[in-house]
Structure 1
Amino acid sequence: MVKNALQAQLLKAGLVDAKQAKKTNKQNQHAKKTGQNDQQQLQAELAKAKSDKQAKDHALNQEKQQQLEQKSLMANIIQMIKQYQIKEIDGEIGYQFIDETKIKKIYVNQQVYNAIVSGSLVVAKITTPQPTQYALIPQALAERIEAKMTGYIIGLQQQQQDQTTDEEDPYADYVIPDDLMW
């Protein structure tokens, strides 16, 4: 029994005998059952899919690792600020500073105020789920924190901007005091 119309035509024309047609039918059926024809293509597709999945997983793992390192660094910085902050600052003198676009004010005593003005103490921002808090820390620690991650130190950025003067500035010879009370 011939299943293929082409085989039937070849048999009628006498180009193929019934024995050869039966043999090719059996080979085709065997190939279909075992999947030998498509097996190489299937293996190539599986290998490609596996390599794509590995690349995608590797990229996701790297992104998660970076986020974890970022969180860890932020937690370490907040811990350092809390550990080394100056605690005895309460006083009646208001020190004003700019945090992003807002002017903030903390009340300090005279000794701490003098240290801030001289540059030995710097204002640091503690951002937690609670409202933003401010702390005063030594300048050396502030520089180390600023080198690791920006955004936590407020007073250090203002000092660096003040120190850069223009060579053609006509008022460069005049000293502008930082401790003016308004």
Structure 2
Amino acid sequence: MAKNALQAQLLKAGLVDSKKAKKISKQADHAKRTGDSESIETKKALADAQAKKLEKDQKLNQEKQRVLEEKMLRANIVQMIKQHQINDTSGEVSYQFVDHAKVKKIAITQKLYDQIVAGHVVIARLEDSYALLPRPLADRINTKMEGFIVVSNDTSEEAFEEDDPYAAYVIPDDLMW
């Protein structure tokens, strides 16, 4: 038995047999029950929403991964500083330096003072305090992540020669102060 007028007309005209009409009506009923009769626009909108959600989730995961890698790198640098810091620093000579627009002071030995001034030893930030590090290690740390090195006296004279506005003037040898 045909459910709509068009099916009835097609059956009377002999264009469709009764088996095929039953099959089509069953497919239509099944589509209505399962929701397969959604329009193409709805399916497209759903696919677009899923794609946007997937892209957003991927961006969030990348950001979380970047933050995690930064934390791991920071922890590795702190561990390197703790392992390689110069421990025998207590002395009677005070060295003053600027950190975050504040003048800080540490008591060190005369030998360490001379090495800091010469640029062989560097002062690095270690959590709430400071640590003295050899120059090669400080350079490696600075290439990995900046912000740990507080005092780094660079003794290269090339930098002074390039920026020196009085480089063209000759200083006489017999000048007395």
When the two structures are superposed, what TM-score results if normalisation uses the length of structure 1?
A: 0.69
Is contact 1:31-1:37 (8 Å) kept?
A: no
> Equivalent residue for 1:167?
164
Structure 1 residue 87, shift from structure 2 partner: 0.2
1:127-138 → structure 2 map (5 Å cutoff): 127=127, 132-138=128-134
Say which SS state the counterpart of residue 88 (structure 1) adopts. Answer: coil
One-letter amino acid of the structure 2 residue matched with residue 33 of structure 1: K
Is contact 1:142-1:153 (8 Å) kept?
A: yes
Per-residue CA deviation, residues 67-91 of structure 1 (Å, 9 max, x unaligned), is 0011011111111111100000101
> Equivalent residue for 2:150?
154
d(CA) in 2 for partners of 1:155, 1:109: 17
Task: Choose the corresponding residue for 2:138, options 136, 142, 145.
Answer: 142
d(CA) in 2 for partners of 1:139, 1:93: 21
Say which SS state the counterpart of residue 159 (structure 1) adopts. Answer: coil
> Equivalent residue for 1:92?
92
| Bigger Cα displacement from structure 2, 68-77 vs 34-43 | 34-43
Q: CA RMSD in A?
A: 3.2
> Equivalent residue for 1:77?
77
Structure 2: gaps spanning 5 or more residues? 10-24, 172-177
d(CA) in 1 for partners of 2:58, 2:98: 42
Aligned residues: 149
Structure 1 residue 50, shift from structure 2 partner: 1.3
> Equivalent residue for 1:104?
104
When the two structures are superposed, what TM-score results if normalisation uses the length of structure 2?
A: 0.71
Alpha-carbon spacing, 1:173–1:71, altered in 2? closer, same or farther (3 Å): farther
Say which SS state the counterpart of residue 38 (structure 1) adopts. Answer: coil
Say which SS state the counterpart of residue 164 (structure 2) adopts. Answer: coil
Alpha-carbon spacing, 1:155–1:82, altered in 2? closer, same or farther (3 Å): same
d(CA) in 2 for partners of 1:101, 1:123: 16
Matching of residue 33 in structure 1 with residue 29 in structure 2: no
Structure 1: gaps spanning 5 or more residues? 1-18, 175-182
Structure 1 residue 100, shift from structure 2 partner: 2.0
Is contact 2:96-2:104 (8 Å) kept?
A: yes
Say which SS state the counterpart of residue 59 (structure 1) adopts. Answer: helix
d(CA) in 2 for partners of 1:147, 1:120: 17
Say which SS state the counterpart of residue 45 (structure 1) adopts. Answer: helix
d(CA) in 2 for partners of 1:152, 1:44: 51
Is contact 2:119-2:155 (8 Å) kept?
A: no
d(CA) in 2 for partners of 1:91, 1:149: 30
One-letter amino acid of the structure 2 residue matched with residue 159 of structure 1: D
